[in-house]
Amino acid sequence: MRFNEYQEEAKKTAIYPEQYKVVYPALGLAGEAGEVAEKVKKHIRDGVLNVEDLKKELGDVLWYVSALAADLDLDLDDVAAANLEKLRSRRARGVIVGSGDNR
């Protein structure tokens, strides 16, 4: 499945008030990313990593990324391609490590 195909299907389940466009999925993304972090934290504490639970949470993260991109009129395929282009450029310039948005 391509990202844009996923995004089109996910849009069918994006039910939230129009006035909360962008805000709703951004907050949801933050919450779901926190749930991923919680699963990993429990792995540190308990020594057990439940990959199936993480898969579900990552799916929720993907849904919110998709919804946020759609609210911004961005195609998920384009978002993914731009990210890879940015990473390739950083690698080529030897700045793949370090910090800062504009490396």
CA 72/CA 68 separation, integer angstroms? 6
Residue 31 neighbours by CB under 8 Å, 6+ apart: none
For 7-34, the pLDDT digits (tens) are 999 999 999 999 999 999 999 999 999 9
Rg of the chain (C-alpha set): 16
The fourth-level CATH superfamily of domain 3-92 is MazG-like (1.10.287.1080)
Report the percentage of the chain scoring pLDDT > 90: 86
pTM of the predicted protein model: 0.90
Question: What is the residue-wise DSSP string for 56-91?
Answer: HHHHHHHHHHHHHHHHTT--HHHHHHHHHHHHHHHH
